[in-house]
Chain A
Amino acid sequence: MSPDALVRMVLFSESLMLVVGVLLLVAHAAWWWWYDRWSAVRVNAVRASLREALAGGDRNPGFTRDFVRLPMRLQIYLLGELAPHLTGVERQSLRRLAQRAGLLAKAERLCRSWFWSRRLFGAKICTLVGHPAAVVLTLLTDRNPSVRAQAIEWAIHRPEPAVVEALLGMLGDRDGRCRFAAQDTLVKLGHAAVAPLIAYLATADHDGTLGALEVALTMADARLLAPATALARAESPAVRARAIALLGALGSAEGVALVERALDDDAAVVRQAALRALGGLAHWPAASRVAKLVHDPVWDVRRQAALCLRAFGAPGALFLRQLRHSDDPVASSVARYALDLSAIGATA
């Protein structure tokens, strides 16, 4: 084939591709134009009947009729729009309405699908309406991380020990979104998760312990004092730091003593955690020990010590005023910074 003929052939193929591309663009735009208008009318109608149904104790036959006519994506969109704002009786009404519309049965079917995207949709529907279907439990070990993460979010509706244990096992999941979702769900489960969390902390590996301590810190339940006390003596500085932070959040006499002792820890990250904890507790009797840490070799510890003194109120301010005139320029600087923040009431 001559070069001229080859170029002509390529040009012809290019033109064909271009025409197809532009036609696809136009077709896509036209479809959306039509779909926007088609869906807007129906979604508004369902939204109105859903509102009426919820207000009237879920007795509105019009809702079911309109709802089942919508495509699944729009059904999920509508539920997602409304569900996070509903609690108690209204939430139960929403679940009954979804059941009457056949959505819950459909969601359970989807959860058993071979395709991960369908399983994801199934789990999503169950999460949105708060449907405690047993089939979603199996998705906690799904091979797809997106599905696992969705199932973890759903677990808030099944606060049983077995489920909580499964969630705790996921604090060491290889996928970050699952770890994050597991931590978040455990925090939201609150009371139900405390006892299994204590048991988990006794046996978990390093990463699992760190994740669990983060959850524990956010919960700050008094029953966590014993594991926090034990872990405050752990080998890993990261674990010690989080345990000290937890003790600071719990605030017992025994815990405060341990936090004070942590001011002399070899690891800067632990000293910093102890200072933050004492500041949070406003434990002013430790002021003189804290003031010494304004001269710590690590800058972050010095700054935290000054902020801790600031959190002590008047006793801390006395030390800060003294430190302001220190020969140590860094100590003087962080003290002035903390005093300035006190003056404007800002959080550092």
Chain B
Amino acid sequence: MSYTLAAAIEALMGPVEAAVLAYFVLINVCYTGLLVAAVFEMRRTRNEAVGINDHIVVGSRLAPTISILAPAYNEEATITASVQSLLTLDYPNLEVVVIADGCKDQTIDVLKAEFSLVEVHRAYAPRVHTKGVVALYRSVRHANLVVVDKLNGGKADALNVGLNLASGELVCAIDADTLIERGALVRLARPMIIDPEVVATGGTIRPVNAVPTKNGQVLDVTVPRNMLAGVQVVEYLRAFLLGRLGLNRLGGNLIISGAFGLFRREPMLAAGGWLHDTVGEDMELVVRLRRLGYEQGGPSKVIFVPDPTAWTEVPESWGVLGRQRDRWHRGLTDTLWRHRRLIGNPHFGAMGLIVFPYFVLVELLAPVVEALGLVVLAGSLAVGLIDQTFALLFFALAIGIGLILSVATLLLDQAAFMRFRRPRDLAWLVWWSVAENLGYRQMTVYWRLRGLWKYMRGRSDWGAMTRKGFATKPPVSSARPS
């Protein structure tokens, strides 16, 4: 390498290095702040849970009606178990709306046979524009079950049809293959009952891979031995119990998972339902609801509740996981771009001043800066700006902070819910927290960068997702009921 090139690189590396270092400090200060906020918030929500007895809500005729919206696309293998588990949830006033989104398999026929469905005339007010409804069915056996067959239009369109048909004061959007714990709805509705200013609530999502299930209910909680699934257990815990719980206290959430979220129906209809032309429709909706709440008056709080849990299957192949993460990052970018007016805008309170800048600086730009950091590290090593020992130590330091956050989240989860009762499961979780840094984390940086690149090039496809399904999975031989 010539002297002038080395000098040029050295001159360039200085400021870039400083910027990356500053970002590194900022991001870790944010995470530490979130962790501290999450601990306080967990204490508050646990106290709140003691204060309002679930059995009062379950036994009360005054509980607000909840319509569960379950969009399904080619789910013939799992749809019966899913609908049965939805119908047996512990909630007094419940309506289940299954939306078959142009299924090409036997989903509708299976539903017709299993739940004695009879076609009724399609009469509903199309307050939100959607693709056409082919048929509407009611069950002879379950008065609270409604099934819609519609033309394929994607998840957002299916949810909008459900929104038009729902009769409940609250609507719960789920994925048809999500398993919801029996008492979860009551706990999710609790903040809505307590505070009329709350427009949406979301619960914790946990990976169901390797977890034994029966009749749509989880029998025991175990940690997957598959690396990808195992790492995602830790990742999901960190995202929900650290990120979302912490944000509750620091200005509210911008994301309610599309797999399990509860919304007030009227503000949803007024806002126009889920958007079709985005791959991040769940986040976009939440931001829009909060924004409208601020702009027009009305409920604008979005609360994450840690104790209600839904279980979902996470990808176990690198290809599928990559497509999912790439899509999530495109969704995030799209939402932040659409609502860019909110960034730093004091009119939107803590959402504009704290939460939105956090999402832009930490969630959106993290992969860019992380990749830049790796390039700078390699470049600095090449031109001898830093020595190898220092580089290794700094790398270990970065990994160490991530590990501390993961272990702290595990502690928070265990102290609050004690989900993992076997010592070997805990050992596996600690191991997955370590293993996450050895390739997985770097791949997520690559996928998110790819998502950002695709977004800039205008790509808005979802990418194929394959699932194994979990109609009934037997417990492992050593499993004990929790």
User: Which residues B191-246 have CB closer than 8 A to chain A?
Assistant: 193-196
Given contacts A14-B397, A146-B50, contact A176 B196 (CB under 8 A): yes
Residues of A close to B410: CB separation below 8 A: 25
A340 within 8 A of B: yes
CB distance from A87 to the nearest CB of B (A): 14
Q: Which residues of A contact B (CB under 8 A)?
A: 3-4, 7-8, 10-11, 14-15, 17-18, 21-22, 24-26, 28-30, 32-33, 36, 84, 117, 120, 144-147, 149-150, 153, 175-177, 180-181, 183-184, 187, 214, 218, 299-300, 303, 306, 333-334, 336-337, 339-341, 343-348
B139 within 8 A of A: yes
B125 within 8 A of A: yes
In contact, B426 and A29 (Cβ under 8 angstroms) = yes
In contact, B125 and A303 (Cβ under 8 angstroms) = yes
Q: Which residues of B contact A (CB under 8 A)?
A: 47-48, 50-53, 55-57, 60-62, 118-123, 125, 138-140, 143, 167, 190, 193-196, 389-390, 393-394, 396-397, 400-401, 403-404, 407-408, 410-411, 414-415, 418, 420-421, 423, 426, 430
CB distance from A221 to the nearest CB of B (A): 15
In the complex the two chains form, what is the Cα distance from A225 to B208 in whole Å? 54
Residues of B close to A176: CB separation below 8 A: 193-196
The 8 closest A-B pairs by CB, nearest first: A146-B51, A337-B123, A340-B120, A14-B400, A336-B121, A21-B407, A299-B125, A176-B194
In the complex the two chains form, what is the Cα distance from A183 to B60 in whole Å? 9
In the complex the two chains form, what is the Cα distance from A15 to B434 in whole Å? 13
In contact, A146 and B48 (Cβ under 8 angstroms) = yes
Give the nearest-CB partner of A341 in chain B: B120
Given contacts A120-B50, A346-B140, contact A22 B407 (CB under 8 A): yes
In contact, A184 and B56 (Cβ under 8 angstroms) = yes
Residues of B close to A4: CB separation below 8 A: 389-390, 393
Total inter-chain residue pairs, C-beta < 8 Å: 138
Residues of A close to B119: CB separation below 8 A: 340
In contact, A146 and B121 (Cβ under 8 angstroms) = no
Told that A11-B396, A340-B138 touch, could you supply 20 new A-B pairs with CB distance under 8 A? A11-B397, A18-B407, A22-B430, A25-B407, A29-B414, A32-B418, A149-B52, A176-B194, A180-B52, A184-B62, A187-B62, A218-B61, A218-B62, A303-B125, A306-B123, A336-B121, A340-B119, A344-B140, A346-B118, A347-B143
CB distance from B152 to the nearest CB of A (A): 24
In contact, A120 and B51 (Cβ under 8 angstroms) = yes
Residues of B close to A10: CB separation below 8 A: 397
In contact, A346 and B139 (Cβ under 8 angstroms) = yes
CB < 8 Å neighbour of A117 from B47, B140, B400: B47
Given contacts A11-B396, A176-B196, A181-B56, contact A18 B62 (CB under 8 A): no
Give the nearest-CB partner of B399 in chain A: A14
Residues of B close to A334: CB separation below 8 A: 123
Most central of A30, A147, A176, A214 by chain B CB within 10 Å: A176
Residues of A close to B407: CB separation below 8 A: 18, 21-22, 25
